[in-house]
A and B are shown apart, each in its own frame.
Chain A
Amino acid sequence: MAETKHRSFPRIEFTDSEAGALEFPSSKSRTYNYYQPAKLRATMYEDVTVDVQPDPDRHLTQGWIYGFGDGPGGYPKEWTAAKSSNWHAFLDPNEEWDQTIYRNNSAVVRQVDLCLQNAKRARAYDGWNSAWLKFIERNLGAWMHAENGLGLHVFTAVQRSGPTNMINTAVAVNAAHKMRFAQDLALFNLDLSEADVQFDGSAHKEVWKDAPEWQPTREVVERLTAVGDWCELLFATNVVFEQLVGSLFRSELVMQIAARNGDYITPTIVGTGEHDYDRDLSYTRNLFRLLTRDEEYGETNKVLFGEWMATWVPRCLAAAQALQPIWSQPADKAVTFAASFDAAKQKFRSLLEELGLDIPKELDQ
């Protein structure tokens, strides 16, 4: 007969350690009291985000205890030329934290997954004409590189450098959006290459690397990744590039013409990227509005952002204009490049007005 193993387990004891069991000093102190919430009651987002990244200007008394070989450690404010009298005033309007990140992105994953399953079941790709297949193969294929490059080498990079946890976390979520979207496009590409249609799933590499219409876009993306100033990088990407190139391609072209070319799948997927950008633009707008309205530094920031635009607007306009030939590629040319470009420029103007920035003269040329 097998020997019975001695079981040992801790004993639970009733301790009456619940809130309210006794009254004593601070027994009712049940809010985080080291920061001032934006409204009367702290939000979940504020409670789990504010001051988690310490700051010598707030509560950090011993300073940063590790430094770099060539400069201070932590999160120096000098890592950008932009200035704020209170970086901590920035709060992410999307209030991103654990639950929102996974809930929102999982919802998108389910939407895309269902869409792709339905496409296979309905043999949706069989109905696409060859010009449209070629358009998706080349252009959406090229674009996914841009999304991935920005995700990894712009947003993932930037989230190390901002001076507050609120900025860095918003940017980290932006990075996750970009990577998820890039991968969704790649896996869509994989589905198409496995479908019974004429689709070269590897053509995107050559297009992104060598096709003349895409080289100025690739150049801007690569030059963006080379920028050291995190705030310039965020501005140049989310304010300038995304408006003049990203939205131009996604909103003003793909979303407008896909249905007319018999494609109800692509808009569902690209629409998720548009939805992401809408959220990401929302935090970006709040951050830069804070900087342009800063009582102490607002005017110098505006000058600085003007300088950044002088660098990036011409590059992005050149990239946008180089893309013009792809407007002619689909069989049904539902919109003209001129109309799309005007719409993108108009939205960019509106954004700059919201930020209180002057409209660059290049936009009118």
Chain B
Amino acid sequence: MSRQSLTKAHAKITELSWEPTFATPATRFGTDYTFEKAPKKDPLKQIMRSYFPMEEEKDNRVYGAMDGAIRGNMFRQVQQRWLEWQKLFLSIIPFPEISAARAMPMAIDAVPNPEIHNGLAVQMIDEVRHSTIQMNLKKLYMNNYIDPAGFDMTEKAFANNYAGTIGRQFGEGFITGDAITAANIYLTVVAETAFTNTLFVAMPDEAAANGDYLLPTVFHSVQSDESRHISNGYSILLMALADERNRPLLERDLRYAWWNNHCVVDAAIGTFIEYGTKDRRKDRESYAEMWRRWIYDDYYRSYLLPLEKYGLTIPHDLVEEAWKRIVDKGYVHEVARFFATGWPVNYWRIDAMTDKDFEWFEAKYPGWYSKYGKWWENYNRLAYPGRNKPIAFEDVGYQYPHRCWTCMVPALIREDMVTEKVDDQWRTYCSETCYWTDAVAFRSEYDGRPTPNMGRLTGFREWETLHHGKDLADIVQDLGYVRDDGKTLIGQPHLDLDDPKKMWTLDDVRGNTFNSPNVLLNEMSDADREAHVAAYKANGTKVA
């Protein structure tokens, strides 16, 4: 279809909307934003007549590549170190995708612009595509990869795992609370415009380097839909900017959304890329270098900064702080170490790091070895059962961390941890911004104005609370992270499948009591708590 006829066709389909006079559509999901003065911004033009065949063609290429991968025995060359992390990633990502579909009517309800409604409805179908195409990729992995354990229980594991919950806010954040905060700023303006670059472009590149060319095939196809979504989000953002009353809310939401996306996505994708790869060429980009390119240059400098011309204060300080956490404060390395510490309650296996890995990390992140090297040597030393407990229960100079009440990644940059009594409970936060998110942003009043539509932080936010005081073996069994012999754990701190004696069983982890740091914190006297927090924060992570 020519550009001219597309424009004409698009103009025609805008005639389908009308101003209702008998009744107006129900407002199921409210917003504190106002669009009374908003000019109608036109999003990227898309009509169903061209949309369906275009997506069908994209699908054909994806499924053709899948057939080719099977015929070409792709799994002969896939690195297990890489594919194990996909058990976590692919258990999480279909939910945010389908949540994005569910978020679209929230934006439609909130924004009085029929031209955008069409684009949002098309995005809804895209997201159904993304969710189901990713579930299918995972099924292919389960069917063809050497170790299907973990893939086979994927959605159950996602729903009961500590890391799954971290990822789940990436979906729940799209569908809950203020419609514009959730479905526009958090989902589209930040998650899709900024972080899909690392999720769907940078990470698949790394997959290819590890012998897996199906992840890039599927996720680049997914990413090719994102430009339309970014256009939807930008149109709504410009409409919101037209009303001065929205400015404080936009600034609040950009701070929350930016920081939460950083905490969650950089934790996960940074770990997958840095610790899931076997590609240790020195000129391969590190996650920090990728972040600089994809997030700092492409998003912050090219997308966020120009918004200043509309008078919007953008969160420069938080962009800089995120960068600092990745480069100076070891954020990704801390997260990887935390995941590896928790291996018995994982549904994926985590490979040990070798001298080659150490060398690469030291080259990319000077000072890495002195901070993390010894711990990974211990991880390697304690990899097999029989003579030792799982590393979390051995004295290797690592204190199991407090969890951030807001982003649910633990407070791993320990000197930055904030401890406050909020809603009658002592809570810990990974950062001042996460504390602000809970105590200030997600409240019914903000900066002296009522914000009744803003969401709330709910649920059993500290995963460890659910398992406080239980034996590790019972926890693993309750979670269902046991292989089909009824005793061998799915999670293992190594990749050796050839010798049953190297595989940890329930009996090997029994006798270790697991406690919730938050429950213990709340049981402490004021003096004990202060001393505990001071000691925790003193065990800082700054690389010398």
Asked if residues A109 and B52 are in contact (CB atoms below 8 Å), the reply is: yes
Of B18, B52, B63, B503, the residue contacting A208 (CB under 8 A) is B18
Q: How far is the CA of A226 from the CA of B21 in the complex (A)?
A: 12
Binds B, one of A8-16, A123-131, A298-306: A8-16
B264 to chain A, nearest CB (A): 12
Q: Does B269 contact A (CB under 8 A)?
A: no
Determine if B373 is an interface residue (Cβ-Cβ < 8 Å): no
Contacts of B28 in A (CB 8 A): 157, 160-161, 228
Cβ of B139: which chain A residues have Cβ within 8 Å of it? 32, 47-48
CB-based contact B25/A225 at 8 Å: yes
Q: Does A364 contact B (CB under 8 A)?
A: no
B9 at the interface (CB under 8 A from A): yes
Q: A102-B129, A222-B20, A226-B24 are in contact. Are A67 and B12 (CB under 8 A)?
A: no
B136 near A179: Cβ-Cβ < 8 Å: no
Q: Which of B13-36 contact A (CB under 8 A)?
A: 13, 15-18, 20-26, 28-30
What chain A residues lie within 8 Å of B466 (beta carbons)?
61-62
- When distances are taken between beta carbons in the complex, the residues of chain B under 8 Å from A66 are 169, 172-173, 176-177, 455-459
List, in ascending order, chain A residues with CB within 8 A of B106's CB: 160
B529 located at the interface, meaning its Cβ lies under 8 Å from any Cβ of chain A in the complex: no
CB–CB B76/A172 < 8 A: no
Chain B 114-156 residues near chain A, CB threshold 8 A: 117-118, 120-122, 124-125, 128-129, 131-133, 135-136, 139, 142-149, 152-156
* Closest B residue to A205 using CB positions: B15
Q: Is A3 an interface residue (CB 8 A)?
A: no
Assembly CA distance A49 to B133 (angstroms): 10
A32 touches B125 (CB 8 A): no
Residues A113 and B49 in contact in the complex (CB < 8 Å), given A66-B172, A99-B63, A187-B12: yes
Residue of B nearest to A34 (CB): B156
B-contacting 9-mer, from A52-60, A251-259, A332-340, A355-363: A52-60
Q: How far is it, in angstroms, between the C-alpha of A47 and the C-alpha of B129 when the chains are bound?
A: 14
- Residues from chain A with Cβ under 8 Å of B143 in the complex: 19, 30
Smallest beta-carbon distance B436→chain A, Å: 17
Q: Looking at the complex, which of B316-324, B387-395, B482-490 is the stretch in contact with chain A?
A: B482-490
Q: Which residue of B lies closest to A216 (CB)?
A: B22
Q: Which residues of A contact B156 (CB under 8 A)?
A: 34, 51, 58-59
Interface residues of A in 123-175 (CB under 8 A from B): 144-145, 148-149, 151-153, 156-157, 159-161, 165, 168-169, 172-173, 175
Chain B residues near A160: list those with CB within 8 A.
28-29, 102-106, 175
Residues of B within 8 A of A112 (CB): 49
C-beta contact mask, A22-65 vs B, less than 8 Å → 1, else 0?
10111111111111000000001001111111100011111111
Partner of B125, one of A99, A101, A168, A208: A101
Given contacts A172-B101, A183-B47, contact A98 B78 (CB under 8 A): no
Supposing A27-B146, A98-B59, A159-B124 touch, asked if A33 and B176 sit within 8 A by C-beta, the answer is no
Tell me if B83 is interfacial: C-beta within 8 Å of chain A: yes
A101/B98 in contact, CB under 8 A: no
Within 8 A of A (CB), among B184-234: 208-211
How many residues on chain A are close to B (CB under 8 Å)? 105
Interface membership of chain A positions 85-119, coded 1 if the CB is closer than 8 angstroms to chain B and 0 otherwise: 00000000000011101110110111011000000
Contact among B47, B132, B146, B456 for A68, CB-based, below 8 A: B456
B146's closest neighbor in chain A, by CB?
A: A17
Report yes or no: B136 in contact with A48, Cβ–Cβ below 8 A.
yes
Instruction: Give the complex CA separation of A52 and B49 in angstroms.
Output: 29
Establish whether residues A19 and B75, one from each chain, have CB atoms under 8 Å apart when the complex forms.
Answer: yes
| B87-112 CB contacts (< 8 Å) to partner A | 94-95, 98, 101-106, 108-109
Expressed in whole angstroms, the minimum distance between the Cβ of B152 and any Cβ of chain A is 5
Binds B, one of A70-78, A236-244, A284-292, A341-349: A70-78
Distance between Cα atoms of A146 and B177 in the complex (Å): 30
Collect the chain B residues with CB atoms within 8 Å of residue A102's CB.
Answer: 52, 55-56, 59, 129
On chain A, the residues within 8 Å of B83 by CB distance are 17
Q: Which of B225-271 contact A (CB under 8 A)?
A: none
Extra pairs beyond A66-B177, A105-B52, A106-B52 (16, CB < 8 Å): A25-B485, A25-B487, A27-B497, A32-B153, A32-B154, A34-B155, A54-B159, A66-B455, A66-B456, A74-B172, A102-B56, A145-B18, A176-B125, A190-B8, A202-B15, A204-B15
Chain A residues near B (Cβ < 8 Å): 8, 10, 12-22, 24-35, 44, 47-54, 58-70, 72-74, 97-99, 101-103, 105-106, 108-110, 112-113, 144-145, 148-149, 151-153, 156-157, 159-161, 165, 168-169, 172-173, 175-176, 179-180, 182-184, 186-187, 189-190, 201-202, 204-205, 208-209, 218-219, 222-223, 225-228
Q: List 23 A-B contacts (CB under 8 A).
A: A10-B209, A10-B279, A10-B281, A16-B76, A24-B503, A25-B503, A29-B484, A32-B153, A34-B153, A52-B155, A54-B159, A59-B158, A61-B466, A64-B172, A64-B459, A74-B172, A145-B16, A148-B16, A156-B104, A159-B101, A183-B49, A225-B26, A226-B25
